[in-house]
Chains A and B, each alone.
Chain A
């Protein structure tokens, strides 16, 4: 039996509740949460969808570290498993957090290809070499789970800070050879709530379940943004 200590929130107060779960080899934390919901307390609220580490819905703090519940094996965590909602997000109920602000920030950096010759009536193929793909490929693996944002010290002290996920998305498109919207994104990233607020704590890269390295993306974006601004000031 493994003891699950879950931080619950009913809309008014936050409290801890413990459940005993008969863990077996191969059981994930997500399965344990479903076991609790089905056998002990059907009011336990958590988000989950794909159950295979792709959708990013089940990110939560497990034994003090943000992880995907569907990819975390219960038996690797010891006899007691502490489960909490992600930090730096407003809790709605139990393990469910408010993601509206997070997605607003993602949207703000225009995470899509910007082309001057966009023509949906006559789409054309945009070719790219493997080297050009490698420039940004690792940053495409982000599943928007919010784990990076939840450990970011800058996001903890400044609500409007864009955060590592949004800036990784911005860099991913700025580094894409098919994209023509770098200047727009550099201006967004250069805002006072943008890249300048990163402390380089690198916790975002440490906890990313997909090894996306958001800290690296932020530093690369910061360098590109600074030099782009400098060039435009000097008229180069």
Chain B
């Protein structure tokens, strides 16, 4: 039986819960802004001008960070739930971390190139 102390698992679990909670707030805010404030809110020009504002940029950067983490950490947990995933645990951890970083950096690039 493997009983090696793992620091990554408890940290990943705590952050998965925290990002889930923050996501509820930020996605609610996102839906409120895009669907409840005006009928024009989803037009291209409106979206571009809104995202150009520093407070929205910061909010979407935060949302991008937590969604990317939550998604790829969730994928990591699903893969580790299988015998094959657990056999290649280090590879699964490395690939999902890399995918998280790539998604976040690429998203930031798109966000700041608007």
Contact = CB atoms under 8 A, between A and B. Distances in A.
Contact of B14 (A154, A157, A191, A230): A230
Contacts of B14: 226, 230
Interface residues of A, number: 25
Contacts of B2: 160, 191-193
B1 to A, nearest CB: 4
B80 A225 contact: no
A158 B10 contact: no
A159 B83 contact: yes
A192 B80 contact: yes
A45 to B, nearest CB: 28
Interface residues of B, number: 20
Contacts of A226: 10, 13-14
Contact of A225 (B3, B4, B10, B77): B10
A104 B1 CA distance: 8
Given A192-B86, A226-B10, A160 B1 contact: yes
Contacts of A157: 81-83
A229 B6 CA distance: 9
Contacts of B13: 196, 222, 226
Given A160-B86, A226-B14, A188 B3 contact: yes
A160 B83 CA distance: 8
